[in-house]
Structure 1
Amino acid sequence: MLLRIKSGKTNIHLQVSLKLSLFISIAFKLTCRHHSSSETEIESERITKIINDHPFPNHPLHLTLCHQIPPVVLSPTFVENVLGRLFAAHSNGLKAFEFFKYSLLHSQFCPSSDAFEKTLHILTRMRYFDKAWELMEEIRRSHPSLLTLKSMSIMLSRIARFQSYEDTLEAFERMEKKIFAGKKFGTDEFNILLRAFCTQRQMKEARSVFNQLHSQFSPNAKTMNILLLGFKESGDVTAVELFYHEMVRRGFKPNNVTYNIRIDAYCKKGCFGDGLRLFEEMKQINCSPTLETITTLIHGAGVARNTTKAKELFNEICMRNLLPDIGAYNALMSSLIRSRDMKSAASLMNEMETKGIGHDNVTYHTMFLGLMRAEGIDGVSKIYHKMIKRDFVPETRTVVMLMKFFCENRQLDLALNLWSYLLERGYCPHGHALDLLVTGLCSRGRVREAFECSKQMLERGRHMSEAVFCMLERCLLQGGEVDKLKQLDQMIKKLQAVLPPSTGHAVGIHTFTDMN
């Protein structure tokens, strides 16, 4: 009996010991994983800054990458992180392309479709279509599995935006016959083509494609919702309803995506009552409203200045066993701000942080808009410094909005602080931000600072606008700073030799004759 008890105790101790060892092992692995993730983030940020700051096109980037990035660190996650940061940072697309090619040459891992898509997105956003096609051809030969519907969508959407209707159809045909050769195109590919026109609000073209090809590619519910979304984005509620009835006549049953689009169309036009009517209709036909449905209605309540209904809808999220996400919080915040209830909006922002939801660019952008109207520079400055302290980097539209606000309110030091902060974090501010900053600085006689900011932009391989260059040109000439002007002129001409031409960009010195 005693032996059994001792044996039992031994087994218990053994089980506890094994569980403890297992717990320690798991904890150690999680700690290492977290540490590894943190190191990847830090290293990604460092490499992004190196790439963005690299003088372009004076020195080859490839040599820098060889010195700074050992092939062993080129994991798919690392490459994706760097490319994602380069995209957000508005980096020169050729630099991103060079980095991706470096990863293909030196990585022991197979590249991911996400990394390829990010590179493609960066190139097409800057209209480097020749390079984008070159990349697709290379991937077709070396890693055909990376070619996805998303990569097709990125390419076609940008061509639809920047080139002609015929160019977009030719690109679709090139995809079918060459890039995706051997793959039979069906409804999914047809939907991608339609989406390319619809996202650019080119509904005449989208309708034409649908009428020409719908017999060849059998439309499905997603096809009809894409077209419906296109009509909604064009801001025509009547067209949305007409097409909705057409899709019903064609035998397609509306789903919650269909209703979300129609509700959003009404809410954006201030027809909140019609949005609520459709919300009730969904319940009656057992078409379950989603979190997106309720978030859209909260936005609609804000447009209608009905804060009470916005709060009621927000509370209904939990009643429907859904969890409010950052989008729902942002919608309620927007509704509060439209009613000029800044105190409640600030409280909601604190609640988001307390609940671990955090803040995204929409949160900050919405808050800045409200503070600009309600409290002016003091309120904006307070939230701006909080944002910087948290190392949050705002997106382009928020950067441009802040830069404009700072310059219009004669807060040029804050504007320069924002510019420097973005550069320190490895970002190359958008051209519109430079336009606003240089204009503000020149109007206050701070021409040397305007010159330095313009130089920093050009050094990173990004154009400056012709209008701002002409203004800076006049100011530098008036101040006798001909050498500085020559320096900018040389940098612009070097960029012109390697970047695709684009309207509105500076072409160099042209307003005076004697530079000797």
Structure 2
Amino acid sequence: MILRFTNLHHLQSKPYNFNPNPRNPNPLLSQFFSSISTSIDEHVERVFHIVNRSESSLKLKESLKETQIHLSNDLIDRVLKRIRFSHGNPIRALDFFNYTAKKKQFFHTPYSLDTMLYVLGRSRRFGEILEVLKEIRRKDRNLITPRTVQVVLARVAKCCSVRQTVEWFRKFRKLVPEFDVNCYNALFRTLCQEKSMSDARNVYHSLKHEFRPNLHTFNILLSGWKSSEEADGFFDEMVKMGVEPDVVSYNCLVDVYCKSREIEKALKVVDKMRDEGISPDVITYTSIIGGFGLAGQPDKARDMLKEMKEYGCYPDVAAYNAVIRNFCITKRLGDAYNLMDAMADKGLIPNATTYNLFFRCYYWSNDLQRSWDLYGRMMKDGCLPNTQSCMFLIRLFRRHEKAEMAMVLWNDMVEKGFGSYILVSDVLFDLLCDMGKLDEAEKCFLQMVEKGQKPSNVSFKRIKVLMELANRQDALKNLSDQMALFGSAIRRQETVEIDILSDPHLC
């Protein structure tokens, strides 16, 4: 973009006021930066569709050249992010990544690399992952970080054994510039999240002679214990190694005691923290609130909110959610609603998790009207539902055969961009097909495609059957072509339907 100032004398005699006050921005500047932002968003969307819908690598390169869009690091980051969260085509994404990497004096950002590896790992293309890493090592090894290690190992661990995950971890010795304790911590965190805590600890004991654990190592491995005795033993090992526990370490102990319904032990840990000059934080109290809930004492859990404030620790949304959850479990929805209102009075905005606690109760009690009213309140308050919220609602609509309500939810999802199109659409298409609402099903299908989301093969087959029965061949061909753009194995089988009654040769 070239800016031309045609009246330089005027600018010199009357300096341009940039007005640094953000509350009263200069309208010209706001319009200028707004136009730039809009332009970038349009470029991201255009490049994304080219990458996702190109039939070949050659077609991809030709289309990108025709656009003459400058492929900056920021744009590439955003396109790859879009591909990741829309489950885009991994092969074309890799073609795009490699195409941009071959530009002179161009280096990908760590974010681009990690996102590309995530996309490949999700589709289990581990051979391509290794090739990308080798090429990056050759070009700019510093891009490979402990975060990269964790991204790759997380995808490996999802579909491979613990042994194979550790083998992949060892491959990074030749790839990461500094193979230190942070890389080991990435492995342990991956195993904790994707496998089990016991797997992570077993691997730790087999590898601990190779490195010196730090506080972060123990905090990772302390979380998620099911046995308080084992947690105590591991905590003692940390202390014997000269690693001083912090608030995170103590919170892990409090959490395991609370989950074991050993509230008294948890409270003693809190006292010990204070004696050592470590102030319990909101996570500490939230665990204790959950412990009281498991013990069937929701009122004591609510009292913890007051105690927190007395010690200068103010509850956050998660703490209130823990108390609300206790009341929802005991079917005391009036008290739960009062707490949600109290949150709002204190300036804490209930989030999707807050509403889901109520949605869960209404779903299991089959209360459609209250669920619908709560959804209305949620949208009015500006809190966007998450995937769990949408699933509670769409399944309830399916159960009651409320296609109109389902379409309102779907249109809100499309307009505001919340929830999982793939998960919700499967239930929605079931409902619409069962009720014979083929026009609505076709509309939702095309909206998904427009958003870069691939409808499931099961949903497509259901719509396909209805369209064949309704003899809507043109519409069916359009949907089949759209599915083919995603590389689907589904291909429309061209059939010639002969009307026996109108063919004299078959009469």
Specify the TM-score bucket, using the shorter chain as the normaliser: 0.7 to 0.9
Task: Check if 1:429 corresponds to 2:420.
Answer: yes
Could you tell me how far apart the structure 1 residues matched to 2:241 and 2:333 are? Answer: 48
Query: 2:363·2:392 contact (CA, 8 Å) conserved in 1?
Result: no
Distance of 1:489 and 1:144 partners within structure 2: 44
- Post-superposition Cα deviations, 1:94-138, rounded to whole Å, max 9, x if no partner, equal 687788789879999987545554554455445454555555455
CA distance in 1, matches of 2:68, 2:283: 42
Cα gap change, 1:322/1:140 in structure 2, threshold over 3 Å: closer, same or farther?
A: farther
Q: What secondary structure is seen at the aligned counterpart in 2 of 1:496?
A: coil
Alignment of 1:173 onto 2:167: no
Deviation of 1:25 after TM superposition, in Å, equals 4.8
Question: How far is 1:223 from its partner?
Answer: 1.9
- Whole-Å separation in 2 of the counterparts to 1:393 and 1:363: 12
Task: Give the drift of 1:313.
Answer: 1.5
Q: Which residue of 2 aligns with 1:27?
A: 21
Residue 192 of structure 2 corresponds to residue 190 of structure 1 = no
CA shift at 1:215, angstroms? 0.7
Tell me the equivalent position of 1:501.
Answer: none
Q: What letter corresponds to residue 182 of structure 2 in structure 1?
A: D
Give 1:160 deviation, angstroms: 0.9
Structure 2 unaligned runs (5+)? Answer: 1-16, 498-507
Provide the rounded CA distance (Å) in 2 between the counterparts of 1:305 and 1:67: 65
Aligned 8 A contact 1:302 1:335 in 2: yes
- The secondary structure found in structure 2 opposite 1:323 is coil
Cα deviations by residue, 1:231-288 (Å, 9 ceiling, x for unpaired): 53xx565654554455456665543322322322343455545543443444455543
How many Å apart are 1:429 and its aligned residue? 3.2
Match in the other structure for 1:199: 193
8 A contact 2:386–2:419 mirrored in 1 = no
For the 8 Å contact 1:187–1:220, the answer to whether it is kept is yes
Q: Is it true that 1:402 corresponds to 2:393 in the alignment?
A: yes
For residues 343 and 399 of structure 1, the distance between their equivalents in structure 2, rounded to whole angstroms, comes to 23
Indicate the SS of the match to 1:27: coil
What's the secondary structure of 1:322's corresponding residue? coil
Q: CA deviation at 1:514?
A: 5.8
Q: Matched residues in 1 for 2:373 and 2:44: separation?
A: 29
Matched, 1:158 2:155: yes
Q: Aligned to 2:290, what secondary structure does the other structure show?
A: helix
Distance 1:262 1:410, change over 3 A: farther
Name the residue aligned to 2:403.
412
Cross-structure match for 2:312: 321
Distance change (3 Å), C-alpha of 1:63 and 1:453: farther
CA distance in 2, matches of 1:461, 1:105: 27
Counterparts in 2 of 1:165 and 1:394: CA distance versus 1, 3 Å:
same
The 8 Å contact of residues 268 and 300 in structure 1, kept in 2 or not, is answered as yes
- Counting matched residue pairs gives 477
Residue identity matched to 2:195: R
Write out aligned runs for 1:291-306 (5 A).
Answer: 291-306=282-297
Distance 2:201 2:358 in 1: 39
Given that 2:448 and 2:454 are in contact with CA atoms closer than 8 Å, whether structure 1 keeps it comes out as yes
Q: Distance in 2 between matches of 1:37 and 1:308?
A: 52
Contact 1:264 1:297 in 2 (8 A): yes
Please tell me whether the aligned partners of residues 90 and 430 of structure 1 are also in contact (alpha carbons under 8 angstroms): no
Distance 2:347 2:63 in 1: 39
Report the AA paired with residue 57 of structure 1. R
The CA distance in 2 between the partners of 1:108 and 1:37, in whole Å, is: 28
Q: In the aligned structure 1, how far is the partner of 2:291 from the partner of 2:66?
A: 53
Q: Is the 8 A contact 2:422 2:455 kept in 1?
A: yes
Q: Could you state the TM-score of these two structures normalised by the residue count of structure 2? A: 0.74
513 and 105 in structure 1: CA distance in 2 versus 1, 3 angstrom threshold: closer
**Which whole-Å CA distance do the structure 2 matches of 1:380 and 1:345 have between them?**
15
Which residue of 2 is the match for residue 147 of structure 1? 144
After superposition, the Cα gap between the structure-2 partners of 1:410 and 1:336, relative to the gap in structure 1 and judged at 3 Å, is: same
The share of aligned pairs that are identical, in percent, is 26
Change in CA separation of 1:388 and 1:241 when aligned onto 2, cut-off 3 Å:
same
Residues 412 and 36 (structure 1), Cα distance of their counterparts in 2 relative to 1, 3 Å cut: farther
- Which amino acid is the alignment partner of residue 374 of structure 2? I
